[in-house]
Structure 1
Amino acid sequence: PAQPAPLTPEEARTLASWDRDLDALTGELLRARTSVTDVPLPASLTASQLLRLAADPDGFAQELARPMPRPPQPAARRGTRFHAWVEARFEELTLPMLEPDDLPGTEAEIADERDLEALKDAFERTEYAHRTPHRVEAPFQLAIAGRVVRGRIDAVYRTGDGEGATYEIVDWKTNRTRTADPLQLALYRLAWAEQQGVPLESVDAAFLYVRTGEVVRPDDLPGREALERLLGEEPVAEVNCEEPPNQDVGAGR
């Protein structure tokens, strides 16, 4: 086959100009389809939201920018029932009335009714089964790092009375792995100490992994100053919003 004639200098310049125009148009199209949106963080956060924010700022910003309805979660309902069962064992305590968003156990990993009964049996074998809490589902609001953090503490145990009293905060964990974040206990510990007006050193905190009966008491939980430093930096709150390709845009149109 005959070879095409080489481009003249004028044709080469014209072709290069077309390439530059095409690159510019492609870049403009991509920028139009991808926008960066600043997501303002709410002034009030739940403790769970703050933990997600600390662990994954970008992912949390995506949740705020594009809130999605949650599908029904039977495991979460069984988690709430487990917490209610534990609380009901201590009839002398006044149990709080909770709003739906405040119900405990919403992140539980309870497979079915048999698993729920197994968890109850496992709790009966723990050291806390025969101790009466000082408070259960204790609500708190903690102003920290320019925001108000809201939450509820599963159980608080008190030893002694008066100025010499000490407290232990316990959070029930029904999941199968040790994945709890000590930051949660640090927030609960600080909130309880400041709410009750007691020294932070008089408040201990622990996770109870109900399935195994293991009690985990993290060492060196941060106090207010360290938490302020940890949470004080404004997290990344930019979300890339990519639009689906426009079917009307394509070569040959």
Structure 2
Amino acid sequence: ARLAAEVGTPAAVVSPASTGLSEAEQELVAAWELDTGLLLAERERRRRRGDGPVEVLLPARLSVSALVALARDPDELARQVRRPMPRPPARQARRGTAFHLWLEERFGQQRLIGDDDLFAEEEDTDDDLIELRARFEAGEWGGRWPSAVEVPFDTVIGDRQVRGRIDAVFSEPDGGFDVVDWKTGKPPRTKAEKDAVAVQLAAYRLAWATLAGAPLDRVRSAFYYVRHDKTVRPADLLDEAGLIALIQRVPIAE
């Protein structure tokens, strides 16, 4: 398969960050938006089909997760573009979403509620989610306060619109910033997987530098693996030129 660059998304699609929808509704709209782009790419591919290799068109709007997939396995992403298949959310993904919602409420509500409310009875939830909450509170980031949480962005990288949502941004004493992504799973083990997931932080760092009007070298970034109380800062993150080169990568022919 070959990734190319000539398809757009419908003009009626609106960025979910501007709609005032709930987090769950935003995730659903974002999934529809991505699926729409993939289906348009498939339609265009069928229109142009002829003899020789089949060309797979990369949508004009990409999610950060698509960039990670491109870094991990461009051929697999090409196959997904050719034949998009809906996938039910995995249990781990649902738990991660629930944990992120709890963090958003934790950071948001503590500015507004009184001390007595902090000891209100906790809603029923599964034991694993309770453990994740406790580990976060006791971990190295539990006592720190972000300057921004759940920051949506829609930025241009090369000739692509790239959208995503930054978990948390911390202001540093030297005037810089620390962009942190909370992870509820295990840290990657292989170098290839570490390099692939680091693309997520590279995109977040570039997006925040653009939003804040800050030099890229003043923005640090990290993954925090909650269950392991481990902060990972990948070295040599891609800059804008590196992300553009990734987007323009042509996968090996099938």
Deviation at 1:224, TM superposition (A): 1.6
Give identity over the alignment, percent.
Answer: 45
Structure 2 counterpart of 1:136, one-letter code: V
Question: What TM-score does the superposition give when structure 1 sets the normalisation length?
Answer: 0.66
Deviation at 1:69, TM superposition (A): 2.0
Deviation at 1:189, TM superposition (A): 0.5
1: distance between equivalents of 2:53 and 2:129?
A: 44
CA deviations 1:149-178 (Å, max 9, x no partner) are: 110001001124xxx521000001111233
2: distance between equivalents of 1:44 and 1:37?
A: 21
| Count of aligned pairs between the two proteins | 185
Q: 1:44 aligns with which of 51, 58, 61?
A: 61
Structure 2 counterpart of 1:204, one-letter code: R
Alignment match, 2:169: 156
Question: What TM-score does the superposition give when structure 2 sets the normalisation length?
Answer: 0.66
Q: 2:83 aligns with which of 61, 66, 69?
A: 66
2: distance between equivalents of 1:176 and 1:213?
A: 11
2: distance between equivalents of 1:93 and 1:133?
A: 12
What are the ranges of 5 or more consecutive residues in structure 2 without an aligned counterpart? Answer: 1-50, 112-124
Pair member with larger Rg = 1
**Structure 1 residue 169 and structure 2 residue 179: aligned?**
yes
> Secondary structure of 2:243's match?
helix
2: distance between equivalents of 1:54 and 1:192?
A: 21
Alignment match, 1:141: 154
Alignment match, 2:48: none
> Secondary structure of 2:186's match?
coil
Deviation at 1:201, TM superposition (A): 1.3
CA deviations 1:22-76 (Å, max 9, x no partner) are: xxxxxxxxxxxx9853221100100001110222111111111111121353332
> Secondary structure of 2:108's match?
coil
**Higher helix proportion:** 2
Deviation at 1:140, TM superposition (A): 1.2
2: distance between equivalents of 1:226 and 1:66?
A: 28
